[in-house]
Chains A and B, each alone.
Chain A
Amino acid sequence: MTRADADTSRFRAGFADPVEGAQRSFRTLLDAMAHAGRTHAFPDAALQGLRPDDPGLAPPLPAGVAATLLTLLDAQTPALLAGEFAAGAAWLRFHTGARPAAADEPLAMAAARAADVDAALWSRLALGSDDAPQDGATLVVEVDALGDQPGGQGIALNLSGPGIPDTRRLVVAGLAPAFWAWRESLAGAWPRGVDLVLTHGERVAALPRSTRIQREA
C-alpha cells in the first residue's frame, strides 16, 4: 500500500508551463532572499497547474513548497523530502529529475513540514566550506503560520543584516525553539551555513544564512 501511495504521486501535476512557472517562482524566491524576512506571495501565473480543479491532480506538497522545489531542483541535486513530505518523492523525481539523497550523504536540499524538522534532519544539512560556501544547504519548511503582524501565535524573530534596512520582525509558528537555537549557533560559521525558505500555503519568506536572528523574549 505504501508503495502504491508513493507511486501515484508521480501522476500529479507540476507547473502548467514549466518555463513561465519556474521563472516567476524564481523571481519571487530571489525577492524573498534579497529582502530577508519579508513575506512574498507566489504570483498566480506561477501557481498555474499547482492548484488544479481536479484534486487528484494536485501536487502532493503545499503549493509554496512545490513551487520552490520545482524551481530550484534539477537532476544534479540530491534532495530529501522528510517526514510527511516523503510521499511526494516520486512526484519530485518525475518533474525535476532530482534523485533522493542517500542516507549517509550531506543534504544540499531538504523540505519538511515544521513539525517534522528535528535535530536528526538539521544535523544532516551540508554547511559548505569556507572555499565553497555555495555547497551549504537550502532548507524549505512549511510552517504553521508566517507573518509580520504582532499578536500572531508563534515565535517572533527580530532580524537584521543584508537586505534589511534597520530591523525586521517575522513571526513563525511551528518550528521548535531548539531549531532556532541551532540556527543561532551557526552565526559564527559564516560564510558557511544554511539558507532557510519558509512557506505557508502560497506565501514565502526567506532567511538566508547572512541574516542575524534574535528571538523576542
Chain B
Amino acid sequence: MTAPSIEHEDTPPDPAARRHWLAVLAHAPRELLERHAAAISADVFVRLRAPEVGMALLRARIGNHGDRFNLGDATVTRCVVRHAGVAGRLTAGVGYVLGRDEARAEWIARLDALLQQPEHHEALMRDVIAPLAAAVAARRAEEAARTAGSRVEFHTLTPEVSA
C-alpha cells in the first residue's frame, strides 16, 4: 500500500472539487481538451456507458423565484468510463457536454476517472485543469468585454421637486 495521499482510500473525492473540474472540462475549448485527452492511452479505460446523445429538460424560475417553468430541451451527450488505478482502486469517470460531440464526452469521462485516482490527481489538476480553467476564464472575460460595449444602463431619474 502506498503512502496516504490526498484522500482516504475509500472516500470519494470532495463533491465541490469534482464539480469544479467537471465544469472546467465541460466548458473547455474543444481543441485544448483534445490536446490533453489525446495524450492518454484509450486502453486503460473500459466503457460502462458508451457515449450517448439524449435530451435534458431545462427548468427555470424567473428572477430565481416564483414557479418553475420548462424553458426547453437541450441536447446533451454523456459517457461513463471505468479505470483501475495502481492499487486496483476503481473509479468511474463521467462526461456530460452540451451538444452531440461524443468524443468530447468521452475525453472528459477519461480525465474525470483519472482525476479521482490519487496518483494522477495533482499532476492533472496542475497540467490540465489549471490551464483549461484559465482558457475558459479568458474566453469568458473576452466575451464579457465585447458585450460590455453595447450595454445599456437604465437609470430612473427622480424629478427634483422644489419644496
A residues near B, CB below 8 A?
3-4, 8, 10-14, 16-18, 54, 57, 94-95
Contact = CB atoms under 8 A, between A and B. Distances in A.
A14 B46 contact: no
Interface in B32-49: 46, 48-49
Q: A interface, by DSSP: helix, strand, loop or mixed?
A: helix
B50 A17 contact: yes
B119 interface: no
A179 to B, nearest CB: 35
B48 A11 contact: yes
B46 A57 contact: yes
B92 interface: yes
Contacts of B50: 16-17
Contacts of A94: 48, 80
B52 interface: yes
A14 B49 contact: yes
Contacts of A95: 49
A74 B82 CA distance: 22
Interface string B66-97: 00000000000000101000000010100000
Interface of B: 10, 46, 48-50, 52, 80, 82, 90, 92
A85 B90 CA distance: 21
Q: Which 9 A-B pairs have the closest CB atoms?
A: A11-B90, A11-B82, A11-B92, A4-B10, A8-B90, A13-B48, A57-B46, A10-B92, A11-B48
A92 B82 CA distance: 16
A28 B15 CA distance: 41
Nearest to B92: A11
B48 A54 contact: no
Nearest to A54: B46
Contacts of A8: 90
Nearest to A19: B52
A18 B92 contact: no
A14 B90 contact: no
Contacts of A16: 50
20 contacts: A3-B10, A4-B10, A8-B90, A10-B92, A11-B48, A11-B82, A11-B90, A11-B92, A13-B46, A13-B48, A14-B48, A14-B49, A16-B50, A17-B50, A18-B52, A54-B46, A57-B46, A57-B82, A94-B48, A95-B49
A185 B92 CA distance: 46
Contacts of B49: 14, 18, 95
B79 to A, nearest CB: 12
Contacts of B10: 3-4
